[in-house]
Structure 1
Amino acid sequence: MFVDQVKVYVKGGDGGNGMVAFRREKYVPKGGPAGGDGGKGADVIFEVEEGLRTLMDFRYQRHFKAPRGEHGMSKNQHGKNAEPMVVKVPPGTVVTDDDTKQVIADLTEHGQRAVIAHGGRGGRGNSRFATPANPAPELSENGEPGIERYVSLELKVLADVGLVGFPSVGKSTLLSVVSSAKPKIAEYHFTTLVPNLGVVETEDGRSFAMADLPGLIEGAHSGVGLGHQFLRHIERTRVIVHVIDMSALEGRDPYEDYVTINEELKEYNLRLTERPQIIVANKMDMPEAEENLAEFKEKLNEDLKIFPISALTREGLRELLFEIADQLENTPEFPLFDEEAVPEEHRVMYQFETEAPNFAISRDSDGSYVLSGEKIEKLFKMTDFSREESVRRFARQLRGMGVDEALRERGAKDGDIVKLLEYEFEFIE
């Protein structure tokens, strides 16, 4: 089965917890705090593996949760950092955040890596909190939670040349005779259900990858037929080879076919019109093909070169392959995504804190107050509630963020219930 689009869940490992410990060694008076920091949680990394061709493996495993860092230990020993979780993906995989639709990584070359979910930092041990005012703190942090997100993986086949055209115009036959690829060929529409890839070598030693894409029909860009599922695979191609059935045995006008397919490519992605397009008049061994070709040239107002071939008899293939190879040499790669980097200018980027609130307050059906927000939830998870000093520090942090004042403005009174995640607290004046 060819799988080229899938949605998975990834979570970076949580950091290890910091430790509260004190030196109690012989001949070491007033040893002081000696709790070590926790180790960093593992990152989830996607790495390109050349041998993979589809995203089939992700059908069976859709959750990737990296291991957490080791907890801090006594004698100021740092917990061990967790080893990264490396997930193999095929070349041509585009990783997109499912919520924001922002592209995280475009993975194309063997061995290329991208961190998809960062692990959390380790919590600090009590030796980090020692001050002249409090030389023996019974206070430590829990590890920072790792990043978790849903991501969409989309495979866009890495081919230099893409064959497009209506169903049954001879794309698969053309690929089978110019390369070692063995696509299924039959006398019915949509024989090709998945993109086929083949490597073509010309007589002068040049080579390139060619993809035969499932047939397009009118309305493909909006989801009609099979072709819309695979239009994404043509985005990486540098040269488009437009195959047209000049025999017109199916009753369609070759020029109308040409216009329709180009309109579909334009509607799907306007940038596809920037790519050089080679027009191939196939099935020239059939009767009336010559007349149809002459009529096609008359209707075609543009001065475009047309290559009459017969994939079946191999007539005209040599000239076509030379032209494709020439076009590839003169055509740069088209980036999938706009990069606005200006190499001449040196810019230093500063990240300022946004004025968005760190928390939000809502009311539950039972009248309790519900606190939410990424920063306040992270703070809560990193607090060790088994120690009174940590609880007092958490209360001070909330007060500093303005949570107490905001609750009073919402009408909270002494004894009211305040919820944060799955925990409940009492509001005390």
Structure 2
Amino acid sequence: MPDRLNDSYYRATANAWETQLSLDSALDCDVVVIGGGFTGLSAALACAEKGLSVILVEAHNVGFGASGRNGGQLIPGLRWSMQEIDAEFGRERAQAIFGLAWSAGERVHDRIKKHNIDCDLKSGHLEAAYKPEHFNDMQREAEFLSREFGWESIKVVAPEDMGDHINGGDYHGGVYDPKGGHFHPLNYALGLAKAALRAGVRIYENTTAQAPTVKGTHVEMRAGTGSLSADHVILAADNWTSDLAQELGNFTVPIMNYNIATIPLSDADQLLPSDAAIADSRFVLNYFRLSADKRLIFGGGEKYVQQPPSDIAAFVRKHMAEVFPSLAQTPIDYAWGGAVGVTMNRLPHIGRKGNVFYAHGFSGHGALVTTLTGELMAEAVVGTMSRFDVFASLPHNRFPGGKWLSRPLATLGLLYYAMRDRL
């Protein structure tokens, strides 16, 4: 991946981290975790806290992938509304899904507090209605969450009150949840990694793992110039999952997202008075927030090919200028991008194959639920399956077309929904 895709504000303002050595020997442990993002780091830390010996290998550096490049938005729940989940799965399963997914924010807050992670954590998330009918849907969902599931923090914001949160975008109302928020995602990942090291996890960076092989009751694999043997393996590589298990890779396709960070803005508090993270309701959404030093971090547009735009800043700027015309000529200090693993139904794909556990396909909604998922896999490793099974039982289909056609076919479908935004 070209380095300019990682020329991020987060990388430039990352907390100190001592790069860990690559693996060059043969080691045994209870659990091998592959992937140094939120999911893998959370799983490794939770396993170590349960008294297991843990090795984590990362092909690049901790937080290299989506965990260190995302918009930093902490959005409660999943990509499906609770009305959709309730209608599809019935009340009993819906309550179990709600109990886990909507508690994910507490897990992140607990980790940040327990390990004293300096990651610019702020409260408040607003979903802004791009169309009047979207606002109607939001009002029904807010009322449903409160009445049926006791989620009373979410507040409906009338169109005339949107100025309390945002001055721009001509949105048709929205819903605000103080239990959502935003943070510096790379510093959160680094904080989890430091906590994992203190808990006894051995982390090896710049160490590419090969596909694991089950041999009896153990799993073996090559990694870096060494090898690993473990009782269990946790695959937490998201877009690189197909390199480790091709059959799992068929359940996701990568979508490229791009972000920019402006210079610090003198009028930042006028643009976003409540300092909430904001995402709009379009299928190809705009999402934005203020950094700790009052830059606007803005993500907008998607590309369905992995070749990045020749000018990432210009690609995203046009979306920013639609929301905030006054920023059309504002200098941009950082522009970066990366791939998001998306499933067909936009729910995370989580499960196990014997003593190999996996989680991927968070579909752009994983900044909170990844921490929870890592902890659920740690529970499953030691034999407590009930909460893990709530997510593992979610239905999934492979993208049609096999290795060569799945991405083009998925692109056609995504372009259709993107076109509907403009109608």
Give the shorter-chain TM-score range.
under 0.3
Question: With structure 1 as the length reference, what TM-score do the two structures score?
Answer: 0.21
From the CA coordinates, give the structure whose radius of gyration is larger: 1
- Relative to its length, the structure with more helix (as a share) is 2
Structure of greater relative contact order (alpha carbons < 8 Å, 6+ residues apart) = 2
